[in-house]
Chain A
Amino acid sequence: GENVEQHPSTLSVQEGDSAVIKCTYSDSASNYFPWYKQELGKGPQLIIDIRSNVGEKKDQRIAVTLNKTAKHFSLHITETQPEDSAVYFCAAPDYSNSNSGYALNFGKGTSLLVTP
């Protein structure tokens, strides 16, 4: 099935700096790549996603880039703020089995800490 690797597992930045989290995937058929943010004690929430027909997507301070040839995609957060501190997960669809073609495989998460 789809294998999603996420790096780094922890990331500490100073307020105002940029943060970058990278993910790789194994299935070249994957065409949808969401990023989720999980705050302490809460469920993950979608913050941005990208489809394989575009290489980059921006939403205010966050952006996602996709390199289909290399099979990797990245989350970029600029001008980080303390409220960006959370665990971030990338994901990709699992099409390896027609029965599980509707599920997402998640990376193991990146714990981001933004210090004032």
Chain B
Amino acid sequence: NAGVTQTPKFRVLKTGQSMTLLCAQDMNHEYMYWYRQDPGMGLRLIHYSVGEGTTAKGEVPDGYNVSRLKKQNFLLGLESAAPSQTSVYFCASSLSLRTLKDTQYFGPGTRLTVL
């Protein structure tokens, strides 16, 4: 049981390049989330998904797209990277937030630098 995994762990992009971050969970969780973490800003929600085939915007969605084609995977895409997207990205999953089993489990993070 690996929990939540993220690939890649590190990435350096040039402005304008695109990339996809992959999140996978093996806990059969319905809900998945993408956060970014910047110094002094805490964790800010980018997008989230409440089930396979559904996604919704979080607090800071601009410049990102997501897809949840399979229940266990949640992809975060940057179509045209900008230096402002330099950050550490965390994926999380939870069974739900409407039951007692609503702990969010986080992956180890992806450190992205956009030059």
Interface residues of A (CB under 8 A from B): 1, 6, 9, 32, 34, 36, 41-46, 49, 89, 93, 99-109
Contacts and interface: CB of A to CB of B under 8 A. Distances in A.
Contact of B42 (A93, A99, A107): A107
A62 to B, nearest CB: 15
Nearest to A90: B42
Given A89-B43, A102-B98, A107-B42, A43 B103 contact: no
19 contacts: A6-B42, A32-B97, A32-B102, A34-B103, A34-B104, A41-B108, A43-B106, A44-B43, A44-B90, A45-B106, A46-B105, A93-B97, A101-B97, A102-B31, A102-B50, A102-B96, A103-B45, A106-B43, A109-B42
A102 B98 CA distance: 8
Interface string B94-112: 0011100011111111000
B61 to A, nearest CB: 11
Interface of B: 4, 31, 33, 40-45, 48, 50, 56, 58-59, 90, 92, 96-98, 102-109
Given A32-B102, A44-B43, A99 B109 contact: no
Among A9, A34, A101, A106, max chain B CB count under 10 A is at A106
B41 A108 contact: yes
B56 A43 contact: no
A32 B103 CA distance: 10
Contacts of A100: 45, 48, 56, 58
B10 to A, nearest CB: 11
A36 B31 CA distance: 18
Given A32-B97, A106-B42, A108-B42, A43 B102 contact: no
Contacts of B44: 106
Given A102-B48, A108-B40, A46 B103 contact: yes
A50 B49 CA distance: 24
Contacts of A102: 31, 48, 50, 96-98
Contacts of A106: 42-44
